[in-house]
Amino acid sequence: MRVLVLLAHPSPRSFAAALAREVVEALSGRGHSVGFHDLYAEKFDPVLSIEAYRHYVEAPANKKSVEAYADALTTAEGLVVVHPVWHDGPPAILKGFYDRVFLRGVVFEIDAQGVFYPILQNIRCLGGVALYGASRERTRKVGDLPRRFFKHNLGDLVAPDARRDYLAAYDMDHADDAARTAFAGKVRRAFRKW
């Protein structure tokens, strides 16, 4: 299986980066072909320019500036996103990735009546690894937006019967080495099952 792994954290020494490496190793160890993109290291531009906005639904012109990412997404059979949760959401670079790459002709199409429908049916496995600074209780109070986005936005775009694994570590602001080691083991075990 071809799996696209996205990392959205500015520090290559972060726990998120370490977990992304765990994901890549686990998937590679299972014999999968893994494409890895560190959005910060690659200096991905998350800003949807006025020009890109004008062509947002005009496939294939809309893919011009993000063609490599769009092609990686449309040829993948699995997608894994690894990121921290800042201010109750993903880093801006990841939100910008969704805004700029999740385009008509890539993840959705529009029928004659103007109704949007998903076409990212090539994704048979969807994974999310999210690191929350806040506790689970506090996150629940505000609705756990990253989990909802994973389930109801990303999850609705992929194949209906796709495997979905959302692995969340809460209260990372107070996590010790033992908690980090335990969560890394959980991540490793989850992706060894793909």
- What integer pLDDT is reported at residue 70 of this predicted model? 98
- What integer pLDDT is reported at residue 123 of this predicted model? 98
So what CATH class is 2-191? alpha beta
- What integer pLDDT is reported at residue 78 of this predicted model? 98
Largest CA distance in the chain: 55
Q: Distance between CA 168 and CA 18 in Å, rounded?
A: 15
- What integer pLDDT is reported at residue 10 of this predicted model? 98
- What integer pLDDT is reported at residue 28 of this predicted model? 98
pLDDT along the chain (194 residues), means of 10: 98 98 98 98 97 92 95 98 97 97 96 94 98 97 96 96 98 97 98 98
Q: Residue 56: which H helix or E strand, with range?
A: none
CB burial of 134-151 (b: ≥16 within 10 Å; e: otherwise) equals: beeeebeeeebebbebbe
Residue 26 has φ and ψ, to the nearest 5°, of -65, -45
